[in-house]
C-alpha cells in the first residue's frame, strides 16, 4: 500500500494567487535531520519552525508548494473550533475541554507573533469574530457557551440580535463576539513560511511522491516513486487530506466543502469586516479579503468523490449566494469565483498531532477541522517539542489515537 492515496483535492476557480515560479526545487539530499512530507500550510509552518531552530530540514511534496488543500482554504484564522466548547465539555469534562481550547487560542497568538517577526506579507489582519445563533447553539445555548468560554479565560461576549445587527450592519441575530481572530491569504502565508524556512537552510524538493517509509537503525528512509530516497532522523507527515491511513485513524474523516468569492472591491459590505459564522448544521460563513473580495463558504457534503463534488459547484454557488444575501442583508453581491474541495474533520473538531503509534520517529501533523490554519501553527509548535524531547501537555490533548469521551455529546 502506498503511503498516501492521491486525491483530486479541489475543483472550480478559487480566489488566491497560485504558486509562483520562483519556488525552484532543489536536489534531494541523501540525508538530513527532518523530512517534512507535504508543502501545504502545515508542512510550511513545521519546516520554518524546525529550520529556525538550526535543524537540517528537507520539505518534500508531490505537487508544487501550496497547491493542495491550502489553495482552497477560506482562511478565517480562529481559535474556536467546529465543536462548541460546551459540547466538548459534556464529552470530556469542563477542565479538560478548557485546556484544549486554551492551547488552540495560544496557537493563534503564536502565529500572530511569528508572522510579525518574520515580516511576512500575507494579508494578515486582526478581525472581530461573530458566531451567530443557529440550530447547533440557539440563543439560550449561546449563553452557556459564553459562560464556559469566560470560565476558560477565552475572550467572547454575548451580543443581543438588535445590537449586533446595528453594530455590524447585518441581519439581527444573537451571537458571540470574540477577539483574537484573524484573516490571512493562505497561499501567501504558506509561500512566505517556505521562503523563511529556506532562508534558514531548509531544502524544498518537488515533485517527489513519497511511496513508503522504511525503518533504519539511525532513522527512517523515505522512498520516492521516482526511485530517489533520503534518510532522516525524524519524518513529519503533513500530507493533509491525502492522509497516511497506515497511521491516521479513520475517526479523522473526509467530506467536501464549497466556497464562492466576489471580485475585489465589493467589501466592506458589513461593518468592521468581521469574520462571521453560524452555529448551524449545515453552517454558513463569510469574510472579506484585504483587496475587498467577499468570501462565503459552507454547504458541506459528506461524500468525497471529486466528480460528484465538482458537478455540484453551480448549485452550491447559488445556494451560498442566496443564504449570504439573507445573512448579510444585501442582494447586490456578485460572485465570480466558485470552488469545491475535499475537507477533513474530526469528532471533537480538533487536530491529530503526535507520534505515529507504530513508528517512533514518524510524527503526524494533520490539521483536520475548520481551523486548519490555526492547527498548522499548533502542529508546528508541538512537532518542535516532540523532536526536542520537551514536555508538552498538549501531546495528550491532540494525540491522533485519543478517545473522544462521550461522543454522542459532541
Residues that bind ligand FAD (CB under 6 A): 3-4, 9, 37-43, 60-63, 68-70, 72-77, 209-210, 238-242, 257, 259, 297, 341, 343, 367, 370-374
The number of beta carbons lying within 10 Å of the beta carbon of residue 373 is 27
Q: What's the min distance (Å) between Cβ of 295 and ligand FAD?
A: 9
Taking the complex as a whole, the smallest distance from the CB of residue 408 to ligand FAD amounts, in Å, to 26
- CB count, 10 Å around CB of 226? 12
Write out the three cell numbers for 27: 536536489
Which residue lies nearest ligand FAD, judged by its C-beta? 372
A 10 A CB-CB count for 1 gives 9
175 vs 240, beta carbon nearer ligand FAD: 240
To ligand FAD, the closest distance from the beta carbon of 344 in angstroms equals 7
Of the chain, the end-to-end C-alpha distance in Å amounts to 33
Nearest to 129 by CA among 73, 177, 166: 177
State in angstroms the smallest separation of the CB of 41 from ligand FAD. 5
Looking at beta carbons only, is 41 or 152 nearer to ligand FAD? 41
Q: Is 119 exposed, middle or buried (0-12, 13-18, 19+ CB in 10 A)?
A: exposed
The kind and range of the H/E element at 38 are none
Tell me how far, at minimum, the Cβ of 8 lies from ligand FAD, in Å: 12
CB 172 within 8 A of CB 165: yes
User: CA–CA separation, 203 vs 200, rounded Å?
Assistant: 9
Which lies closer to ligand FAD via its Cβ, residue 161 or residue 282? 282
Which one, 77 or 200, has the nearer CB to ligand FAD? Answer: 77
Distances in Å between the Cα of 88 and the Cα atoms of 98, 108, 349, 352, 376 are 9, 20, 9, 16, 21
Which CB atom, from 349 or from 405, has the smaller least distance to ligand FAD? 349
Compute the least distance from the CB of residue 16 to ligand FAD, in Å: 11
**CA atoms of 252 and 87, how far apart (whole Å):** 18
If the CB atoms of residues 165 and 367 are measured against ligand FAD, the closer one turns out to be 367
Amino acid at each position: 500500500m502506498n503511503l498516501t492515496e492521491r486525491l483530486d483535492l479541489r475543483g472550480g476557480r478559487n480566489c488566491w494567487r497560485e504558486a509562483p515560479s520562483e519556488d525552484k526545487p532543489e536536489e534531494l539530499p541523501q540525508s538530513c535531520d527532518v523530512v517534512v512530507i507535504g508543502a501545504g500550510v502545515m508542512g510550511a509552518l513545521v519546516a520554518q519552525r524546525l529550520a529556525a531552530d538550526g535543524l537540517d530540514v528537507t520539505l518534500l511534496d508531490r505537487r508544487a508548494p501550496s497547491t493542495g488543500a491550502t489553495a482552497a482554504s477560506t482562511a478565517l484564522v480562529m481559535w474556536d473550533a467546529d465543536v462548541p466548547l460546551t459540547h466538548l465539555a459534556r464529552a470530556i469534562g469542563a477542565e479538560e475541554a478548557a485546556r484544549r481550547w486554551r492551547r488552540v487560542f495560544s496557537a493563534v497568538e503564536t502565529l500572530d507573533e511569528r508572522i510579525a517577526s518574520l515580516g511576512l506579507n500575507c494579508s494578515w489582519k486582526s478581525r472581530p469574530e461573530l458566531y451567530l445563533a443557529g440550530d447547533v447553539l440557539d440563543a439560550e445555548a449561546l449563553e452557556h457557551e459564553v459562560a464556559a468560554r469566560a470560565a476558560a479565560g477565552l475572550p467572547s461576549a454575548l451580543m443581543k440580535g438588535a445590537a449586533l445587527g446595528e453594530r455590524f450592519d447585518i441581519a439581527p441575530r444573537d451571537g458571540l463576539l470574540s477577539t483574537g481572530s484573524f484573516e490571512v491569504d493562505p497561499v501567501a502565508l504558506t509561500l512566505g513560511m517556505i521562503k523563511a524556512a529556506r532562508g534558514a537552510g531548509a531544502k524544498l524538493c518537488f515533485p517527489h511522491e513519497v511511496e513508503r517509509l522504511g525503518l533504519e537503525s539511525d532513522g527512517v528512509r523515505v522512498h520516492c516513486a521516482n526511485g530517489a530516497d533520503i534518510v532522516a532522523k525524524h519524518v513529519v507527515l503533513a500530507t493533509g487530506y491525502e492522509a497516511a491511513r497506515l497511521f491516521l485513524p479513520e475517526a479523522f474523516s473526509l467530506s467536501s466543502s464549497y466556497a464562492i468569492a466576489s471580485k475585489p472591491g465589493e467589501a466592506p459590505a458589513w461593518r468592521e469586516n468581521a469574520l462571521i459564522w453560524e452555529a448551524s448544521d449545515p453552517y454558513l460563513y463569510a469574510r472579506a479579503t484585504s483587496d475587498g473580495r467577499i468570501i462565503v463558504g459552507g454547504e458541506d457534503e459528506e461524500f468525497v468523490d471529486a466528480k460528484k463534488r465538482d458537478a455540484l459547484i453551480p448549485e452550491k454557488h447559488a445556494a451560498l449566494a442566496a443564504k449570504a444575501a439573507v445573512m448579510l442583508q444585501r442582494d447586490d453581491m456578485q460572485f465570480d469565483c466558485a470552488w469545491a474541495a475535499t475537507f477533513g474533520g474530526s469528532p471533537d473538531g480538533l487536530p491529530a498531532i503526535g507520534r505515529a503509534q507504530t513508528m517512533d520517529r514518524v510524527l503526524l501533523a494533520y490539521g483536520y477541522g475548520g481551523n486548519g490554519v490555526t492547527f498548522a501553527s499548533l502542529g508546528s509548535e508541538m512537532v518542535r517539542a516532540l523532536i526536542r524531547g520537551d514536555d508538552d501537555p498538549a501531546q495528550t490533548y491532540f494525540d491522533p489515537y485519543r478517545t473522544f469521551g462521550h461522543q454522542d455529546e459532541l
